[in-house]
A and B are shown apart, each in its own frame.
Chain A
Amino acid sequence: MITLPEIKKSFFVSLWFMFLTFPIMVVRVNPIEKAVEWRWKNLLLVGVGSFLLSFVWRYLFKRKEAGKKKEEAGYDSGAKSFFHIILAEPKIYKPFLIGIAFFALAFPFIFSIYQTNIMTTALIYVMLGLGLNIVVGLAGLLDLGYVAFYAVGAYSYALLNYHFGLSFWLALPIGAALGAFFGILLGFPVLRLRGDYLAIVTLGFGEIIRIILENWNEFSFGPSGIANIPRPGFLGIEFSLQGATTFMYFLMIVLTLFTVFVVNRLQNSRIGRAWIALREDEIACQAMGIDKTKTKLTAFALGATWAGMVGVVFAAKTTFINPASFTVWESIIILCIVVLGGMGSVIGVVFGALILILLPEYLRAFSEYRMLIFGAVLIIMMVFRPGGVISSVRRTYRFEGLTGKRDKTGI
């Protein structure tokens, strides 16, 4: 039931929001006529809107609290989310997966080049997210300079092609290897750092790479960038623009599937378990005989490999790169993808990337408010689903005694 104190609360919320949004929603200065427009109608809309939304907010909050209490009381069913139920039941998710596969295959033939291009970009971010997920989600090392490895990949293809005419297919593994190399290069100095300090050093590393690319004209052609990077051919076939876009799309689908496969395997491997142990407790991890140095370096190297590889694809897709594509903002978006999707969860990261990249594209109608919506979505997420859209469910060991089998279950 709606009670008087609740109405009072909502009333104050709406007052507060009217006050906060006053400068952007009400006042508009018209510099040509040198007049100030007062749009009082907007104020009313904000007031009524936030008044009603505050009820929804409180309702959802209460439901979440109730769910938490249930969980503490020992009800298991309440803890599982809608997604996890779907994912746990092959009968439901198999047709679902097949549907997605057909949709993905037909996508470039149904939609325009523009749409296909957007989808390819989204897939690029899926791969970047999955790569960063290794470092941040699994090994628990906050890396704010991830975009540097992306830049390394992109420039390695662009420069190798410019100077030596190297093809895309040769550049792809080279870009990946260079990414891994730079990952280790960053890994060494930060071996002893954790948390905030690590974040700052990685942030600095990302900026160093960008600033070098921007200022070392003889090497990277500075801010003017490198143009006319060839698109990839396939078995000697040269594509038209339409064909190349479609080909790029399918290439990204294949690479993404490959990444998902490898990351999944890594997660459940020995090194994956070492990463998780490292994330949880460094000293205990050492006491268990896990080599801290090796574990951290492999996390950085394997994370960076994907960024390097995707960098090559990015350069080939846009055919032009300059340092402006590799700012801190990029790193932060990739980090948002991982956090929003669910740290350590592969499917979560895939969803996170699709949401964060596709949503702004389709919200162009509201482009003025894009950042506002973006921020609101992040806040709402962190309040209601702090583990991400699809939080990670690790494989847990089952142990049924000597006679039983020790099998792995979960997703």
Chain B
Amino acid sequence: MLEVKNIETFYGNIQALKDVSIQVSEGEIITLIGANGAGKTTTLMSISGIVPPRFGEIYFMGKPIHKMSPNNIVSLGISQVPEGRRIFPYLTVLENLDMGAFLRNDTENIKRDMEYIFELFPLLAQRRRQPGGTLSGGEQQMLAISRAIMARPRLLLLDEPSLGLAPIIIRQIFDIITKINRENKTTIFLVEQNANLALKVANRGYVMENGRITISDSAQSLLSNDKVRKAYLGL
């Protein structure tokens, strides 16, 4: 479904990604784990076109997207939950969700999707008229995920959904992520620092170090991989 082929991405003169290749098939949960500054977020930004790669190619459903602008990539069905949530603080929860559906015109279905989201996150339904900025961290993360789902993506890019959240909330959010994957057949690309949790929900995983993919394997075998256990699971 998504094929990243040898991309190299730069911030000015600084190379953030070196020869990164990733494959995601339809319906999977894929995770990309690594330490701070490994290039995980940059990989997502390259896929969504916000920081386009300088070299290499990215194909989505067979179409080259590495030269497309972010809005065209979103319209193909790739939706991103940016790192640090980045909800619109002065817009209400409803308006935030409405922004997620910016490229859609099917009012009826948008309504239905909002209902679905309020079933998924009853907390958000209670706070629908509140400005996004007044929500707690966990609620904001839920809102950020919901906003991305409102675009009805085929591929959902999640950037560190566990960032700065309490363990119990993280667990809830991961439950929802697997639920979205199962119920909507949404393919999920999950970038995480919390390797343990990420590998437990994912089918396959990639490990990133200093801008390179160093290991790629099924989530099961990564969990039992000695190197991974030492470096990322603290075991």
Identify the A interface with B (CB < 8 A). Answer: 270, 273-274, 276-277, 280-281, 283-284, 286-293, 394, 396-399, 401-402, 406
Q: Are B99 and A399 in contact (CB under 8 A)?
A: no
Considering the complex, give the chain A residue whose CB is closest to the CB of B98.
A397
* Interface contact A288-B112, CB-CB below 8 Å: no
Q: Chain B residues near A398 (CB, 8 Å)?
A: 94
> Is the beta-carbon distance between A290 and B71 smaller than 8 angstroms?
yes
Q: Which interface residue of A277, A291, A399 has the most chain B CB atoms within 10 A?
A: A399
Q: Specify which chain A residues have a CB less than 8 angstroms from the CB of B79 in the assembled complex.
A: 287
Task: Contact check, A291 vs B69: say whether CB atoms are below 8 A apart.
Answer: yes
Q: Does B29 sit at the interface, judged by CB under 8 A? A: no
Q: Which residue of A lies closest to B133 (CB)?
A: A280
Q: Are B91 and A288 in contact (CB under 8 A)?
A: no
Q: How far is the CA of A396 from the CA of B74 in the complex (A)?
A: 25
| B:107-151 near A, CB below 8 Å | 107, 111-112, 114-115, 128-129, 147-148, 151
Contact B147 A288 (CB under 8 A): yes
Partner of A402, one of B95, B103, B111: B111
* Complex Cα–Cα for A273 and B94 (A): 13
User: Which chain B residues have a beta carbon within 8 Å of chain A's beta carbons?
Assistant: 48, 50, 69-71, 73-75, 79-82, 86-92, 94-95, 98-100, 102-103, 107, 111-112, 114-115, 128-129, 147-148, 151
A397 to B95, CA, bound (A): 7
Q: In the bound complex, how far is the Cα of B74 from the Cα of A292, in angstroms?
A: 13
Instruction: Give the residue of B50, B70, B86, B129 whose beta carbon is less than 8 angstroms from that of A281.
Output: B86
- Bound complex: CA of A21 vs CA of B72, how far in Å? 61
Cβ contacts under 8 Å, B74 to chain A: 287-289
Known: A291-B71, A402-B112, A406-B111. A284 touches B91 (CB 8 A): no
- Name the distance in Å between A290's Cβ and chain B's nearest Cβ: 6
- Chain A residues with CB below 8 A from B147, complex form: 288
**Assembled-state Cα–Cα distance A402/B118 (Å):** 12
With A277-B99, A280-B89, A402-B112 as known contacts, state yes or no: A287 contacts B50, CB within 8 Å: yes
Residue of B nearest to A291 (CB): B71
Q: How far is the CA of A345 from the CA of B2 in the complex (A)?
A: 44
- Are the C-beta atoms of B102 and A273 separated by less than 8 Å? yes
Given A289-B103, A399-B94, A399-B128, CB of A277 within 8 Å of CB of B112: no
Residues of A within 8 A of B151 (CB): 288-289
| Distance between Cα atoms of A289 and B105 in the complex (Å) | 13
The docked-state distance in angstroms from the alpha carbon of A281 to that of B75 is 19
Residues of A within 8 A of B80 (CB): 287
Q: Which residue of A lies closest to B92 (CB)?
A: A396
Q: Is the CB of B99 within 8 A of A288?
A: yes
Give which listed residue, B81, B91, B100, contacts A276 with CB less than 8 A. B91
B88, B111, B129: the one contacting A396 at CB < 8 Å is B129
By a CB distance below 8 angstroms, the chain A residues around B99 are 273, 277, 288, 290
A286:B102 contact, CB within 8 angstroms: no
Decide if B90 touches A280 in the complex (CB within 8 Å): yes
Q: Which residues of chain B are within 8 angstroms of A274 by Cβ–Cβ distance?
A: 102
Residues of chain B within 8 A (CB-CB) of A284 are 82, 86-88
Of A288, A402, A406, the residue contacting B100 (CB under 8 A) is A288
Q: How far is the CB of B14 from chain A (nearest CB, A)?
A: 18
* CA distance in complex: A277, B102 (Å): 10
- Tell me whether A289 and B115 are in contact (CB under 8 A): no
B82→A283 contact, CB < 8 A: yes
In the complex the two chains form, what is the Cα distance from A276 to B92 in whole Å? 12
A394 to B86, alpha carbons, bound, how many Å? 21
Given contacts A397-B95, A398-B94, A399-B94, 16 further A-B contacts (CB under 8 A): A273-B95, A273-B98, A284-B88, A286-B50, A287-B74, A288-B99, A288-B102, A288-B103, A289-B71, A289-B75, A292-B70, A293-B69, A396-B92, A396-B95, A397-B98, A401-B115
Question: For residue A402, which residues in chain B have a CB less than 8 angstroms away from its CB?
Answer: 111-112, 115
